[in-house]
Structures are given as structure tokens and as C-alpha cells.
Structure 1
Amino acid sequence: MPGVGETRDVRLIHGRYQLLDLIGRGGMGEVWRARDESLGRHVAVKCLKPIGPERDQTFTRILRERFRREARVAAALQHRGITVVHDFGEYEGILYLVMELLDGKNLSQLLDENRHHPLPVDDIVDMAEQVASALAYTHEQGVVHRDLKPANIMRLGDGTAKICDFGIARLGHDIGFTARLTGTGIAMGTPHYMSPEQIGGDPVDERSDLYSLGCVLYEVATGAPPFDLEDAWSVLVGHRDTEPEAPRGHRPELPGYLDRIILDLLAKDPGERPRDARELGRRITEGVRRGRGTYVPTVRAPQIEPRTGAPVRQPEQPGSREPRLPSWTRGMTTGHKATGGPGPRVTPPDTAAGLSGEWIARDADRTPVAPEAAPRPTPAPELLATLVSRHNAGLSLGRLERWAEAGEVHRSVAAEREYALGPDHPDTLASRYEVAFTLSRTGRPADALREYRGVVEGRERVLGPEHPDTLGARQEVAYVLGKLGRHFEAHQVYSTVLAARERAMGPEHPDTLRCRHNLAFNLSRLGRLEDSYRMADEVADARARVLGADHPDTLVTRCEVGYALGQLGRWSAALRTYQEVARVRARALGVDHPDTLAARYEVGISLGRLGRSAEALTLYRDLIEDRTRVSGPHHPETLRARHGLGVNLGRMARWEEALAEARDVCAIRGRVLGADHPDTLVSRREVAVGLGWLGRWQDALGEYRAVSTARERVLGEAHASTLASRNDEAHCLEQLGRTADAVALYRRVAALRQQGAPGA
């Protein structure tokens, strides 16, 4: 027999098993597809890796004992959910195990192929039922697996789930094999799936397998194990000491009974877990019997995005149910964080989150733009219900800020709705609208613009040019134009939408006021600061009359007033405005509400601009502590507060500290948001600023160029942010004595600005 990993024309074990090709490699050995020459069937042969003479003999002995144990235990088990073992032995010094050849993939492979997105709920429940049945059988045979993990559960092509790899299984009646092997460096289990009693070296029984199964179910249901931390020790401490977040906190559409089962399996105390695998199976079956339909979260009235006044989706509490509001109230929403610059707009669902199954064109006798050869068949109600659930699942992913996944869901639903209902059906257009939104949220404004324009065209055909939904989509077009730096075009679209809203709804309708709010923001981007301030002040007064002085919408416009005042250099007035907003929000919403914390952030900006950096530092440190407590250390708003702290350290000439803070924030933003995200690039620019102040101009130049390149790639060479970065480069070149290069770059920036000027 050849050594494992060698290639020879003849690879026969005992003249019977011919090794054909390598299909897997693990910690203990390799798995080969082979042919059983005696019975004429294909099998899988697992071979223990050769042990070199340099290995500790105790280590070698224990590995061989593990392998023999797996063979003896697995060969004694006969159940549909357990991999069948045909034969085992030793040949030319290599231990081998002959098993059935499975046509499928393990759960780890399925997660990898799915880019660690959660698996479908029905697949999870079906797999959980099957594994529970297999575990019930093994436990009744006195066998505890002790290393259940995604890689050890196979999902076959016909849907069958099978447990494999009993390499460290322990017979219940065999007390000679200790719960933990000490002094060998051999882990008895895998950290992400080990039970607290395994970690503590306490007696282990079948309930340890139930805990590990809970970890597996958590991962396939949410995309990550319950304690997905940086190092093995942190993971182990998490299992031992930390209560896991509910799976529905990551994926709200999970059925409630499945969420409860997973949490019960993850109980620290074995006595609080299901009594045994039979009880677990009964609970799963009962949940299915009662109806495991996809959880459809309530769609709440969304909040308003900072400065733009656009609605923002907020995570909702599972199980909440609110009465449906009249459609015209969709714009009457609460405020959200106020930031140093506008974030992507978030808008409410276009319909009441449901497929109607039928729709009426604007003109009853309208000739279809693209008449079909035959009438479109009526979609099955089951399909419509499924698409509703998936649409809402996409919205839920958005509320969790999992925008890339949300976009994939909405794209899929949009395609299926177009096929089932037609390209101009309102529900198809609603899905395309959400696709556009996720594109905007993931830093793809140009793609979002194309998608929004397609929605506008469809709605104009079906609903008319001044229908509220058409105007809503056109307003999004204006917002994305602003994100692309095309503020003059955005201004034209906003003005047209505002005129239509005033005609249809009146000057003080909430939707009209929201459009005026957005227009005021865009005016500031055009450099018309006084006009921006006056309009924002007028909108704030109007919202106070219509909604009340303390209404969240009124306060978000007050924040816009503060922003305009700051841009005009009237920072004392801006500070007073933000402080008043923060006080009212704390009283009305609570001190830990995101809007309250956002207003405190703006107070910090104003203090810094007034030269009161010591006060700003104190405020930011308190804010970072509160943001970390409320949202976690890596939340974008926590990082925004840390960025503000670093900026003010620089203002106090504490450049070494400022540089260290900027680098840390930049690294985290890169991991959490992506290397090209605007916030990451802002932090990278702050790194360059610190390097420059420390006299390290060559290093600063490299950072400035990286920011310019990324902004040009994402936003275009003529975008205002890209041009500002090119100016930073030119300044660096001057500092390095490269005057000719600096002048050439300044001229290039000036030419691009001239080309992009209105009317040019």
C-alpha cells in the first residue's frame, strides 16, 4: 500500500480496496474514493496519516487509539442517519477505515458555498429532526459523539442528513477513556462547538452532544456560530460564561419555536437542556405540526435619516404588532442619528409589505407597452405568500444592516415577481425599489441610480407621473444624484418633485415637508448656505406647527438647521441648537436612544469647531462608552465617536495619540464596512493628516493617494470628495518639494471642477 498522499498506478489495500482519488483531508488523516474489488462497489477509505519518528510516542499511541475507537464504535452503529462502516484494519503500518461513499456535502461546505449566509429554514428544521433521531439512537447505544460540528454532518443529494466521524466518541460504559486527554496537546472537541462541561473537564454525557448540536443549528440558522470570536480561548470563555444572543436577533424571520429550541440547547447547565435527543425530536416535530411558516416581521413606520430627512428602518422587537397606518402617514417618521455628512437614504416599503396578486393600471383602457402573446397565468397563492415572506425577510436583513444579503434577497424576489406578475406590477417595482436601496447602502450609487430610474419609468407608466409612489422613487433618484456629487441635477429633480407634492398634497403635508427638508440639505451641498439655512428653518417651524415642537421629525430638521449654521461658521448658534435637541430627545426618547446619542455627537463637533477641544474630548469619551454599551465596540456609530475623539486629539497637537486612534478606527472600519466605504476612507485620510503633522510626508502621500484612488473608483474622478483628495495629494507634493508635480495636479483638479460646474 502506498503512503497517504502518494500517487501510484496500483493502490490496493489488502488486495481489495483500490484507492482512486483523494476527496478529503482532516486532522487525523485523508479520505479517498475507492473501489471495493470484492463486491464491485465504490466506498470511502479513511487512512490515518503516517506518524513520523519525531512525534512523541504518547501522542502517536493516543491517535492510533482514537482511530481504532472510531472504527469499533461506528461499525457497531446501524442507523439511517449514521455513516455506515464496512471494514477496518491496518495495512503496511497504516490504519484504515472503509465507509459508505456519500454523495453530498457537509454543513461546513454548504456554508462556505453560501458565503456563510444562513441556510433555508425548512432545510435547517429537516436536518435538525434527522440529526436528533440519529443522536437518540447513538445515545441509546451508550455512545456520545463528543465532536459534533458542521464538518461532521453530511447532507446528501436526496436530503438525508448523516452524522460521521466518531473519532473521539466515548462509550458510556467505558470509563477507561477519560473525558479529557491531558498533556498531549490533542483537543477533545472543536472550540466553537464544545459544551461548557467539556471545557471544564466535568463528566460528559449525551447532553453535551445536544449543546454541540445547538451550536451547529445556531451557525446554519444565522451564518456564524454563537461565539464567533478572535481566538480559541475567547471562544471557550464565551461558551463557559456568556449567554448567547438569540438567533432571531440576527435573523428575525426564524420561527419562534426554533429560536427557543436552539437557546435551550445552549443552556450552560446540562440540566436545563432538553432531557435527551428524543425529547428534542418531539419538540421539533411539535413545532412543525403547529405550523413553522416563515416568520413575517411587522413593518413599522421607519425613522428619518440624518440631515436628509429620509426614513430609516429600525430593528423591531419580535412579536410586535402595530395597527396599519393610513398610507399618507408613511412620511411622518421619527429622527435618527445626525452625522458629519449625510448617510444613504432609507425609505419605507412602497406597499403594505404584501403582494396583492392583482393590480390596476392608471388608465383602464391603456394599451400595454409590450403586449404579451397570451394572458399571464394567475400565480398560485402559495407562491405569492412565499414571495411576501421573502420580501419581508429582505427588509429584516436591512434593519439588521446586512445590506449585501438583503440585496441578494430582493434581487431574487424581483426576478421571480417579474416572471410571475410582470415587469410593471407594483410588487415587482417595489422589489426593484428595494434592490436600488441596497445598492445605495452598499456604496454603489451609480448602480442604484440606474435601478431607481427604471422604477420611476415603470411607475410613471402604471401609476402616473404624480402618483405618491412615483414621486417617492423620483426623490430617491435625486438623493443618489447627490451621493454622486451631481448636486445641480439633484436640485432640479427635488424642485420638480416638491412642486408636484405641493399641488397634490399641499405645502404642509408631511411628504411635502420631507421633500423640502431634502432640498434644504442639497442647497448646502451646492454652496447656497444661506438658502439652505432659511429653508431648513422654515421646514422646522412648519413641522412644529403640524407635528409639534418635540416631534422627532421636527427635531431632525432642527439638526439640519444646526448643520447649516455650522457651515455658515455660526458655531455658537449651532451648538445651542444641538444641545437643545439633545435635551429634548433625552427627555422624550431616553438617554440611550440612537437619536439622543446622535445629537450628543453633533454637540461634540460644535465644541471642537469652537476650539473647545478639551470639552469635546470629555464628551466623546463618554459617548464612546455609551455607544459601546448600547451598540457594541465595532458599531459604525461607536467608530464615528472614536473618529471624533481622534480629530480633537489632533486639534490639541497630540498627534501621536491621534494617529494611533485613526489607525485603529481605520482598521476596524475596513473589516466591518469594507476598504472602500466612505467612513473607512475618511479614517484613512485622518491617518494621512496625522502622518503629515508628524513630518512623515512621504508616508502621508501614499495614504492620500490610496484614498484618491478608491474615491475615484467608487465616485468618479470629478466627484467633490475625489477632487478634495487630489488636492491633499498636491499639498503633500508641495511639502516634499515636488512643486511641478503639485502644480500639475492642482491644474487637473481645477479643470475637472470647471467641467462639473453647473451650466458648463
Structure 2
Amino acid sequence: MTKDRLLQGRYRLLDVIGRGGMGEVWRARDESLGRQVAVKCLKPRGPRQEPGFLTVLRERFRREARAAGGLQHRGITVVHDFGEDEGTLFLVMELLSGRNLSQLMDDNGRRPLPVPDVIDIAEQVAAALAYTHAQAIVHRDLKPANIVRTLDGTVKICDFGIARLGHDIGFTARLTGTGVAMGSPDYMSPEQIGADTVDDRSDLYSLGCVLYEIATGAPPFGSGDAWAVLVGHRDTAPEPPRTHRPELPEPYERIILDLLAKDPDDRPQDADELGKRLADARQDASGTAPLPGDAGAVARRQPSWTRGMTLGSPAHPVRRPPADPATAVLTDTWTGDTDRREEVSPAAGIPRPVLPDDDPDALTARLEAGLALGGRGRHFEAHQICVAVLAGRERLLGPDHPDTLACRHHLAFGLADLGRLEDSYAMAHEVARARARVLGPRHPDTLVTRYEHAHVMGRLGQWEEALRTYREVAAARAEVFGPAHTDTLAAHYETGITLGRMGRSAEALAVYRDVVAARTRAWGADHPETLRARHGLGVNLGRLGRWEEALAEARAVAAGRGRVLGADHPDTLVSRREIAVALGWLGRWAEALGDYRQVADARERVLGPGHLDALASRTDEAQCLEQLGRTDEATALYRRVAALRQERAARR
């Protein structure tokens, strides 16, 4: 799938927001209704593409999609539409703003969630399952990644019916030759493992695994070895959750253990019964002390997952492969946002000066440590530090002191790093207004907040508002700093990006030409930021169908980046790929293949064959081979990519 592709003349793909074994999820725009949606694209791969198989698969997909589309419950992700476009099956769903439970656990350093949140999630998922089971629909792949908590605290289950298509589409891994599907081994019921009859109670077992993990920090059989995990589900009694989390109330421990019973007859017999037991447990707790981790009414002003998410340690050590330092640096460069974020040099350790908490210097040191953590990708820890520093500065300096507002600025955009875009948007708006009131509307700090605020608007799809803000910031910076100042040109550059995202490429071209000219005068033709603007210029030439000009621009930028940054620098490789794209649009596929292959070789050499960017490049190469009629080579390459993706998924 490619950006800007229009599915069935209606759904325009904007950017990838998730990838998995069965396909990709894109943020898209419904051109008919003018709303943003999520589009899950599923494409059969591998040897099983004979017409008879594909006919059965399409019918199966339609049946499952209709069933999922008929579900109407606040705890179920809404399916708006489904269809097929050039061999790609797709589902159109509501676009959720929030984090799935796996991401929340990662944000919290794989530590357990607060007990009140565990209880709230259990109650909401039980209600959603009661509804779906009443419609005779079993999920079969309930896991933290399929349960999303939105910004307003609503919990939603995703992917009903889709998991059952996995094997048919050709992505379901096999554990052994016995026919046991791997699926998600940490959350599989014993009857799934034994290929027995699966009913509603299998989903309840999987929910028990999920609740055990978010309550203790690790799944009930978290040894890390897939076969040992499956044997644990089948033969081993889980350790009681209170062994690892003593503050978990005993009635909830009993519920979780009953959900994890090996025999389905020993579990709650349906989700309604589970819901009643959860309600009884809450009623019992309401007459005693507050639930552990409940910080009270003040904390409830924030979304519930901001409350005390550092309780306890994981029940089982979570073993993750150590990152290759070279790869980590390159990955940060590759996916980073150098035009929108100041670089933070990684340190071997974060300094923690021992100063009293009511000392302004101590608060500044803590804030700097938090910003360094954020620069190293440890966003949740950075967020916690920023919250504590903000409280201290408000107490010592007052809410409108410039240092307090600076901390609120960092906190607002740290929320965006955590994926909490709506919260980030609201806080950034407040900070911009406060800085304008205290410092003035044209103060550099006010303009920085507005500039960052516009970036969040774009991530939320509010492009008109973002465009207006970038233009206002650019005009104000031109008055304050001058038209050729770095910050002024950065705002103009973002204006060009935004116009391009809105499909207004002719206007974007004019903006990019001005930025290129200004940066060339100020810094020279080979400065990385000049080349960055020229890259944007070439992209928009392509969007306008001016492919000969786009090709010439891409070649010039690639050559410049190669001289300045090196042949294997991520930016250089991005430009090399643009050359291949332009050649493909011009029908020069044999030439394009050479560039696609060189980019894939370089990414594989630098990042490793299993890195997502290397896999994407190999997919580009395979698609080019298909265009050249070299289908055997393309099929072999697709199989290699699929195998590497499965290996990557198994390691996570």
C-alpha cells in the first residue's frame, strides 16, 4: 500500500499507524463524508493465491466483516465499511485516539497498572464481551494489543472476526507439525491449544490472562519460550496474582484465577456472570478504604492512566533483546523529527543532583534530566518527572512564572510523545494563551509553543488550523527575527509540508522554492536543511505528475546528501528511494530496480534485515520485480520478507 492511494474512489490513505502480521493499518480520509478513519488493509501473500482459494477467502472476509460491522456497542470499535481494491481486502473503522493496553504497559516500564484502572478495564471489557457473545460472536484473539483505552477513558475491543482470517490469509505461524496455531500464545486458552471446541469461555480465559498481566506486570506464564508458555496454559496452575501484587483485593484475585481455570466449566459461564461478580467485588470494596492507587478526586481530573503508574514490579522479568547502540542512533535519526525537535545528546547516565525539592536549581536539574530521558525515548519517565517539577514550580514561583510556563510547555509536548494527542493539544493551547498574556504574543517562547501546537494539530488531522497557525507564526517571526532567520524559515517549511498534506501541491511548491532560495543564500546549496527543503520540492513535483522534474530534483538532492551526509545516511537513502519512485512512474522499471535494490541493501546492512525500514525496502524491490514480469523472484522475496516479519513478531 502507498500513501495517497484512493481505495474504491473514497478512502484516501494518509499515513501508516500500525503494522502487523496480517497487514497494515492506515489513517485515512473518507472523501465522501470528510472524516478521518482507520483502514486495515489485508493482502493474501505467498503460494496460496489460486483463484478458488481467493474466492473462498473473499466470501469469508465479507461474512466476517458484515458480522463485525453489525456490532454496535460503546466497548467495540465501530466498523464503517469493507471492500476490496486491486486485490487488497480492507476494513474501514473508527479512528481511535488513545493507547492499547500493551502500549500503556510499555509506557509504564512494563510495571503493573494501578488497581482502580485494572478494575475499570475488567468491567468495561466484560460488558463488551457480554454484548458480543449475545450476538454469537467469539473474538478468539483477545490480548492487550486488541484492547484500546481512549483519551476519555472508554475501553474498546478491536479486531472482532479478523483474527479468524489469519490462517486463511497466510500469516498464521505454526508452532510444530501438529497443526497448533501460534496465534498469541501468552493469551491462548487450553482448548485453543488442544484444537478443541472454542466458545465464549475461551474469550473469558484470554481476558483472565490480560487482567493478570496488567495487574502484575507480566502474563501468567511469562517464561518467554513459546512452547513453555503453551504447556503452562495447558498443565500449570498460575501463581496467585497477590503473590506479586499484595494490594490487589482478594475478590479480584479470585475472579482472575477463576477465569484462568483449565476446564471451561470451572470458569464463569458467561460474561454476564463475570460482570455481576465484578460489580459485587466493587460493592464490597466501596464500604471499606479506597482502592489501592486511587489518588482521589484531584487525580481524577487527569485521564485515569496518569495516576500512579509505577506501582510494583513485573511478576516475571520481561526479557527484551538489548538494542544495538549503532542501530538505535540510526533509528532515532531515521524516524526523528529534526525540524520540530531540538536534539538532545544521549548521556551514559542521567545525572540526579542531590538538592532539596524546594530549591529552584533542584527543579531545573530534574527537568533537564527528564528532557534527557525523553530524548532517549523514555517518554513515560520523562512525563512523570515533568509533572513533579511543574507542581514544585507552581508552588514556589506561581502558575504564571515564565519558568513554570516553560515546564508546562515541555509537559504538553511530552504528552504527544506518549500518543495522547488530544491532551497535548488542549494543554498546548492553554500554554500558548498564558505565554501570550505574560510574555506577549510575539515573544519567541510564545511562538515556539504555537509552532509546536500546530505540529500536534497536523497529527490530529486538523490541517486547516495547522496551516493558519504556521502562517501566523512565520509572519510574526519574520517581524521579530527577520525573513531569513532559521526559525522563520522553519515555520515556512512546515507551511509547505502542511499544504502538501492538504493536496495543495502547487501552493506548496511556491513555498518550498522560497525556502530553498533563502536557505541557499544563508547556508549554501549543500546545507542539510537546504537539501531537506529541496526534497520537499521534489515530492510535490511528483504529486503534480511532473515526474521528469521530480526525478531531476531527487537525483540532485541524493547527490548532495551523499556528499554531505554519506551514502548510507537515512536522508540520502530516502532521496535514493524517491529516484526509484519517479523512475517507476515514468515506466523505467529496470532502472528503478537498481535503485530500490541499493536502498534495500544499504538499509539491511546498517539496520539489519529484520528492521521495518529494511523490510519496506525489500517489499519495494519485490513490487518492482512484479512490474518487470519477474514473478518468481518477486514471490521468493515476498516470502523472505514475510518470514523476517514473523521472526520479528516472535521476538517482541
Report which of the two structures shows the higher radius of gyration computed on alpha carbons. Answer: 1
Report the TM-score, using the length of structure 2 for normalisation.
0.45
| Greater relative CO, 1 or 2 (CA 8 Å, sep 6+) | 2
Report the TM-score, using the length of structure 1 for normalisation.
0.39
